Structure 1
Amino acid sequence: MIDRTVEAVVLAADALGPPPGGAAALRRRLEALVAAGVSAAVTTGASAAHSGDLLRSRPAGPGRLLLVCRHGGEVYELGPRGPVRVGRRVPSAADDAALDRAVTAIRARLDGRGVVSRRVPGQVGRRVVGVRWPDRARLAGPAAATLVRDLAAGAVAAAGLPDVRVSAGATHVDVSLADRGDAMRDLLVRFASRGIGPGLVLVAGDFAHTGDDTALLVPELDRAVVVSVGAGRPGGRARPAVRHRPGGWATVLALLDEQLDRRRSARVPCVDEDPAWVVVETGADRLRHRVTETLFTLGAGGLATRGSVEEDGPEAAPLTVADGRYTARGPAQHLLPGPQWAALDIDPPPAADRRVLDLRTGVLYRQTGEGGPPIRTLRLVSADSPGLAALCAEGPAGRLTGGAPLRAPAAGPRSDGRSWTTGDAGGCVWGRTADAGTGAVITAAAVQAEAVAGGLRTVSRFAVFADRDAAGRARRAARRGFARVLAEHRAAWALRWEDVDIRIPDAPADQLAIRFALFHLWGTAARHDECAVGARGLSGTGYGGHVFWDADAYVLPAVVSIDPDAATAMVRYRLRRLPAARAAARAAGRRGARFPWESAVSGDDVTPNAGYLGGTRVPIRTGELEEHITADVAWAAVHAATWTGTPERLTGEWAPLLTETARYWASRIRLDAGGNAHIDRVIGPDEYHEDVDDNAYTNVMARWNLRAAADLAAVPDDERAGWRELAGRLADGFDPATGRYEQFAGYRLLAPLRAADVGEPPVAADVLLGRARVAASQLIKQPDVLMLHHLVPDETATGSLGPNLDFYLPRTTHGSSLSPAVSAALLARAGRPDEALHLLRHAMDLDLGDTTGTTAGGLHVAALGGVWQAVVAGFAGVRVRGSVVHLDPCPPAAWPRFEVRFRCLGRRIRVAVDAAAVAVHTDAPTWLQVGGSPPRRCGGWTRFPRRSRP
């Protein structure tokens, strides 16, 4: 009847009257839908006691069945143990007084027009005025209802009661503090808590009578399927659009049967194409297909699949990988491709399609569009059941078949030790890729079902990637069915977005881009045992999946405010590779631990020795000289412990990350004849200048590392004192006269080129000008000195952020994807939010717009982490010191109001900012300091005035 699969159903019962023959037939259908994962609600103006047979429903989820009584005054959830009240509006004394004033005003206005009114005994939070028309004043029903409504609304407005709701018919006026529309909005909020947006909702009732159930049709239902089943044709409302399917309860039951049939036949579910949540690609640009594969990557629990099209062909390069599973050796080591699980046989291949990534629910939807019956697919990597991936497909039976549910990785077997084996596991198939050298194995088991009816083939597939019981889990998922798996997955995503989100009503494009960053950070860093986050995450082959300082300085500070357990797992990855870092230090003739520039399985350095720049082969010296990563690893551990409120980890399990890195710096530092300390021959974050001495970033991070270890580590007193003395002697290049740090010794003598002299940033200056000319200039690739103000502001001179921003930003080409977002965070902190937003938008567009032409190789995960840091640490101004959360928001003009949600100190925190105030909500008492106000212990919502900035 509507040819659409929905995830929630709302039945407006009042205007329909009681179901013929009782509610048993309705009850059976609703229980079946709830068992399939659908959320359902029945709304009525009656009390629960008058809801008859419906109260006998005992549905078993994963869906929910709600009974909304007294026009939303009470809400009951019906479950296996019977009805449980889950919502109730209780008016205050002031509310009751307002309702009484409204009734008095309405009766006076009606009586003045010759209409006889009387107060009818009402319900809690509601008043009813009866209307009786004298014969000489009687009007036709609709005209009478309109007149009564207008008179009542005018009376309430004149009485100054804007919060009182009025609905009316020809014989009554209903006065309340919340009406049917509020009840519908409440239902939409409840559905959203399970990942169901308005576009996945079916609303059915008799919407032909103005003033009755039409009040349910709020604008928020704009994308919903609304069906009026009454005899009268709906009119007067353009939004939401209403379909007319007369037939009363018989039509309602037919609508429910259609939804049940779609689930039984495994029809492809729909997505709610809310522009605030979806990224859409049409596939018209063939050159963008590899980029789209990256953007549409789905990941959870350490497993990810690129968003390749399902059919084989030159435009498909499918890849499924698992966190920490590598193949090959040395610099050639890269993520091990796992079994392909999302392939289908489609003949001929689609010539055109439309693909939708739904960030809210973590699914990828596709529909072909070249004419004829379309092929539709939907896939997910479960956020609820780690290692489970599932897809559903439908299309013409002569064109679509499921084919083999698991297939060999695209590159096939390799002579370097990688192998592919398959087999049957009694009702499901299994496939395995393995690497003899690293011992890595990725095993999957899959169950597939196909059916054909009316020329339409449907395919359901469930694949489980696990080392144990993969086949058993795949069979159990298949028994639950795709609809239930999807419902559980959606609900898990809804919980994520409830805790962590960004809301910018006046800048929807910014809001979507930031949500895109959050979505992929969850997909990249989602393991809670040990998490290795490569520069491109699990979304592509770029950098082989190697782990850089990006993970410690850019990704972890974002992830710790999103999923604290995942941030802990990132620290654990470094901790478990401490033996390799110790061995690297010994090999260099040093003490302690030296962490590698590029890391993979074992923690040995896998940095290549050479690469290509603009087609020319050049040496890569970062593995030899970019040593600041050793301090970055220690910083990440301290930051994670501080942000999560678990400082005891730094004197317990994580202590070696501080002590061993401090010992390395103590043995690496050189003392000159005057007793001054130096670190020679390094590469700082600005990689345009190699083999420099006293790089400010490296030296100050080493100084911080030594001091942090001296404060926390359980080491002999003489070692502790030695660390503090060395830290105090380290050169940092600071000039009190200018307030600036010299990036490295001799930097001020270089040619004073600025980025604008080369081109509009971002620009790869080393490609355009050549490495030698750039090295002889003051051009820098990315923030170097400025990174100190971002990571360790307490180690920098007071008031030095502004002078260093003014000097170094004009010289920054943003030739690294790491650069724009952290620059934005610093500009916001410095009170320059509009400049910050300009750079933040560069960062947000890196992958969505493929501005560097490199997104095909994978997402720039550090840039995504930087985007979230710019929002939280920059525009919201969040810092954690001890057990106090400090906030000093500084939003750009384009964001006159915004709300950010994040996790911190074991709390769930919301910060809502507008022109007048900063409102902060914490789910448990928390010490807050907002702007220059004294710290306060707050719980729930607390409102602070915005401080003025110079």
Structure 2
Amino acid sequence: MDDPDRRRRDRTFEAVAFDRCATEMPHGVPHGARDGRVPRVDDDPAWTIRETGTDPSRHRVTETLFTLGAGGFATRGSVEEDAPGSVPLVLAEGIYTGTGSGQHLLPGPQWTGLVLRPPPEEDLRVLDLRAGVLVREEIGHTCPVRTLRFACVSRPGVVAMRAEAGAGRLRAGPALRSPSEGQVTEGRLDGHTWSRATADHAGMAAVATQRTGRDGEVRTLERIVAYTADPARRPVPRDAVAALEAARELGFDRLLAEQRAAWAARWEAVDVRIPDDPQAQLAVRFALFHLWSVAGRGEELAVGARGLSGGGYAGHVFWDADVFVLPALASVHPAAARAMVVYRIRRLAAARARAAALGLSGARFPWESAATGEEVTPARGCLGGEPLAILTGRMEEHITADVAWAAAHYARWSGDGAFLAGPARPLVIETARYWASRCRVDGEGRAHIGEVIGPDEYHEAVTDNAFTNVMARWNLRQAADLVAPDCEEGRRWRALADRLVDGYDPTSGRYEQFAGYFRLEPLTMEGIAVPPVAADLLLGHERLAATQIIKQPDVLMLHHLVPEEAEEGSLEANLDFYGPRTAHGSSLSPAITACLLARAGRPEEALDLLRTALVLDLDDLTGTTATGLHMATFGGVWQALLTGFAGARVRGGILCVDPRLPASWGSLGVRFLCLGRRVRLDITPEAVDVRTDGALRVRLGAGDPREVIGSARLPLGR
């Protein structure tokens, strides 16, 4: 579990100042390095993040932050030599080993190892977001160790590295090193080294080539590797040879030029500009960089809570993927968002089997999913060193509606209505059937759902959790929209949806988080601790459950996901009530709360919480970044920028824009994908400039929609 109460580690988060690569050689070969030498990277502080120093407590965090991923493969940013406490790791999306709750991502052959004698005592490591490369340079040496590596965006599975050091200090060693688990085989193929890790029928294989050279007193090394993976059979190394040969023939310098061009195209389509807040701008770009990095190579995409950046949560797929990451990817990489829904669709049979085993109809999706779509949530864990039963796999049922919501959101944002009416239709209908069988109707005709856990998770086995009930209601109505108007089952779904209680009190404008919540001890975070903090560690599980302190904004999530289902005008009252009671003990919490505060016209408060989300991994606020990046936080950050501060939402095939900028931001620029168009919004307090690459219907605030072709300036009337 995330633990925000851990000591916050002091660090400087800043940009790097390497020598600028001012020009390019013909055919895109970077200038500034002789053939075989490590080229320089850009020094633009708006695009580069650096880490300097030898603090061992920071080492594994840095490895996580500097993960490079593309095409469904990712490599942690470990140093090249063997280092104490280092966790080098190569992972592939959807490649699991183990059974039941023990399922986890299978480590693959490692490709970045070098022999450096002596290793650098101190170095500067730089992640260049604009080019998608990681550079390392030794500090305080006349002939320093320097390395550059990247994962090819345009060549899925291909990675490359160049290294240099003084003669006698650098030795290549094996191009591939075996992982610590799985069945490992290796050999030679067509003059290349290959290695394969398998478990059951799944596996990952790599084929590598390397060459060494010398430039005066400097020894150089160049390594290119191609990976292949298969979730259903043992991969054949020969399947990667063609990709390796094509990359080798192109050569390292042109591979690098190709990489820079591919990333330039990405940033041209999707980006953020906050001229008055360069630190926030850089941190949002860091989030976008890693969101792009989880995009897979096939028709389906399983995004674990930590992506492919570490072993945290064993690579299991939670609601993080459906509700936090997918909505961000829908505007960044729509094909990846669609593939995430396909992952759920292809595991619908397992969800049906789960519902049937419970004596219920339809499909119930697992709280934690892996290869097969079966429930893989562990039964027990620890909290503060004490054993604890984990009930989320049994009770956190809102995931079933979340999955259906993700399918509908992708279809709405992308304009791909045929997907919802076609491949995704059984998913929405089967999840509605589950809720129809799960609800209990009392003698007064009201429908209830009991024994659940909401997103809050500090309160268990509750009845009529507002978020769960409202999401179930939305699910029933969405399914009814997908069947014929005269369908009897659809009419029953609508009637049941109308009967579901939601805990709304029209007098106060508040939703009761669950039945009996308002009778709990009215404790707030004031005087306990400054959020974000793990309140369960501070107060203990039983004590906390008797209070109104919550882990994350449970009721507020329904306003975020399905505002059309919430009572009009109720957001403000619920922000005021639940905000002071929220510990933000989940990494999912700050960004979405910031999004809602911005929507409610409170951008200054929103900015304060957004800043927490922006540095949650960069500053390791939870003390858990060493085990992997918090992908949901990145997804939440982009949602906060796009749907919160920029106020962009899609309704009925129309892009609705209602911006809310904090006073310190004189302007906000966002580029994104929406309804099949590339869109750019340049927002100031006076107007919104809209640019698109085709016709797009746009509504500003409460005004009438208008068609924008090319560009338009929409004055803000408030």
TM-score range, shorter chain: over 0.9
Q: Report if the CA contact (8 A) 1:5-1:269 is conserved.
A: no
Query: How many Å separate the matches in 2 of 1:777 and 1:451?
Result: 67
Partner of 2:567: 797
Partner of residue 412 from structure 2, selected from 642, 645, 662: 642
Determine which of 212, 217, 228 is the counterpart of 1:450. Answer: 212
Whether the 8 Å CA contact 1:377–1:391 is kept in 2: the answer is yes
Q: CA deviation at 1:473?
A: 1.9
Shift, 1:883, TM fit: 1.3
On the 8 A contact 1:655/1:713 being kept in 2, the answer is: no
What's the CA shift string for 1:503-526, capped at 9, x where partnerless? 011100000000000000000234
Q: Deviations over 1:817-871 (max 9, x none)?
A: 0000000000000000000000000011100010111100100100110000000
- Deviation, structure 1 residue 715: 9.0
Pair 1:491 & 2:261 matched: yes
SS in 2 for 1:846: coil
Query: 2:189 corresponds to which residue?
Result: 425
Counterpart CA distance in 1 for 2:372 and 2:216 is: 55
How far residue 666 of structure 1 moved from its aligned partner, in angstroms, is 0.3
Partner of 2:512: 742
Return the match for 1:548 from 300, 305, 318.
Answer: 318
- Structure 1 residue aligned with 2:26: 34
TM-score (norm 1): 0.72
For 1:464, the equivalent position in structure 2 comes to 226
Q: Which runs of 5+ in 1 are unaligned?
A: 10-32, 39-199, 203-258
2-side partners of 1:482 and 1:489: how far apart?
10
Q: Secondary structure, in 3 states, of the residue corresponding to 2:709?
A: strand
Rounded to whole Å, the distance in 2 between the matches of 1:433 and 1:312 is: 21
Instruction: Map residues 895-906 of structure 1 onto 2, 5 A cutoff.
Output: 895-906=665-676
- Structure label with greater radius of gyration: 1
Q: How many residues align?
A: 693
Map of 1:183 onto structure 2: none
1:771 and 1:473 map into 2 onto residues whose CA distance is: 53
Matched, 1:851 2:615: no
CA distance in 2, matches of 1:4, 1:356: 12
Counterpart contact for 1:688–1:780, Cα < 8 Å = yes
Per the alignment, residue 379 of structure 1 pairs with 149
- RMSD in angstroms over aligned alpha carbons? 1.4
Distance 2:70 2:455 in 1: 31
Is structure 2 residue 637 aligned with structure 1 residue 874?
Answer: no
Cα distance in 2 between the residues matched to 1:488 and 1:706? 48
Q: Which amino acid aligns with 1:873?
A: T
8 Å CA contact 2:552–2:583 kept in 1: the answer is: yes
User: What displacement does 1:201 show?
Assistant: 6.9
Amino acid at match of 2:68: L
- Please show how residues 581-730 of structure 1 align to structure 2 within 5 Å: 581-713=351-483, 717-730=487-500
**Equivalent AA in structure 2 for residue 463 of structure 1:** V
* Pairwise CA distance, 1:575: 0.4
Equivalent residue letter for 1:385: R
Q: In 2, distance between residues paired with 1:714 and 1:297?
A: 48
CA deviations over 1:871-926 (Å, ceiling 9, x no partner):
00000001101211000010111211110000000000000011211111111010
User: Deviation at 1:454?
Assistant: 1.6
Q: Partner residue of 1:480?
A: 250
Matches within 5 A, 1:83-98: none
Alignment of 1:834-849 (within 5 A): 834-849=604-619
Which residue in the other structure is 2:124 paired with? 354
CA offsets 1:736-770 (integer angstroms, 9 cap, x no match): 00011000000000000001231000111110110
Q: 2:159 is paired with a residue of what secondary structure?
A: strand
Alignment of 1:174-189 (within 5 A): none
SS in 2 for 1:533: coil
Give the distance between the partners of 1:878 and 1:810, measured in 2 at CA. 27
Residues in 2 aligned to 1:527 and 1:797: alpha-carbon distance in whole angstroms: 41
CA distance 1:6–1:427, shift in 2 (3 Å): farther
2:96 aligned partner: 326
* 2:13 corresponding residue in structure 1: none
**Equivalent of 1:560 in 307, 325, 330:** 330
SS in 2 for 1:8: coil
The corresponding residue for 1:939 is 709
Matched, 1:500 2:270: yes
Q: Please, which runs of 5 or more residues in structure 2 have no aligned partner?
A: 1-17, 229-234
Q: How far off is 1:706 after superposition? A: 0.1
Structure 1 partner of 2:12: none
2:428 aligned partner, one-letter code: L
* Other-structure match for 1:827: 597
Aligned equivalent of 2:11: none
C-alpha distance in structure 2 between counterparts of 1:848 and 1:732, whole Å: 38
Instruction: List, as ranges, runs of 4+ consecutive aligned residues in structure 1 with deviation greater than 6 Å.
Output: none
Q: Deviations over 1:299-324 (max 9, x none)?
A: 01110000000001214210000000
Deviation at 1:426, TM superposition (A): 2.1
Matched residue SS, 1:529: coil
Q: Distance in 1 between matches of 2:297 and 2:455?
A: 28
Verify the 8 A CA contact 1:651 1:713 in the aligned structure 2: no
**Deviation of the 1:6 alpha carbon:** 4.2
Amino acid corresponding to residue 850 of structure 1 in structure 2: D
Distance in structure 2 (CA, Å) of the matches to 1:659 and 1:315: 49
Match for 1:920: what amino acid?
V
Assess if the C-alpha contact under 8 Å between 2:19 and 2:41 holds in 1: no
- Match of 1:683, SS state, is coil
Check the 8 A contact 1:283/1:353 in 2, yes or no.
yes
CA–CA separation in structure 2 for the residues paired with 1:4 and 1:830: 45
Give yes or no for the alignment of 1:8 onto 2:8. no
Given that 2:697 and 2:708 are in contact with CA atoms closer than 8 Å, whether structure 1 keeps it comes out as yes
**Is the 8 Å Cα contact of residues 19 and 42 (structure 2) preserved in structure 1?**
no
In 2: Cα distance, 1:404 partner to 1:563 partner: 36
Q: Using a 3 Å threshold, how does the CA distance of structure 1 residues 825 and 6 change in structure 2: closer, same or farther?
A: closer
Whichever residue aligns with residue 196 of structure 2, its letter is R
SS at match of 1:757: coil
TM-score, normalised via structure 2 length? 0.95
Q: Share of identical aligned residues, percent? A: 58
Contact 1:824 1:837 in 2 (8 A): yes
Residue from 471, 481, 501 that aligns with 1:731? 501
SS at match of 1:547: coil
- Structure 2 Cα separation of the partners of residues 599 and 659 of structure 1: 20
Question: Displacement of 1:5 after TM fit?
Answer: 9.3
The alpha-carbon deviation at position 479 of structure 1 amounts to 2.0
Instruction: Tell me, in whole angstroms, the C-alpha distance in 2 between the residues paired with 1:836 and 1:611.
Output: 34
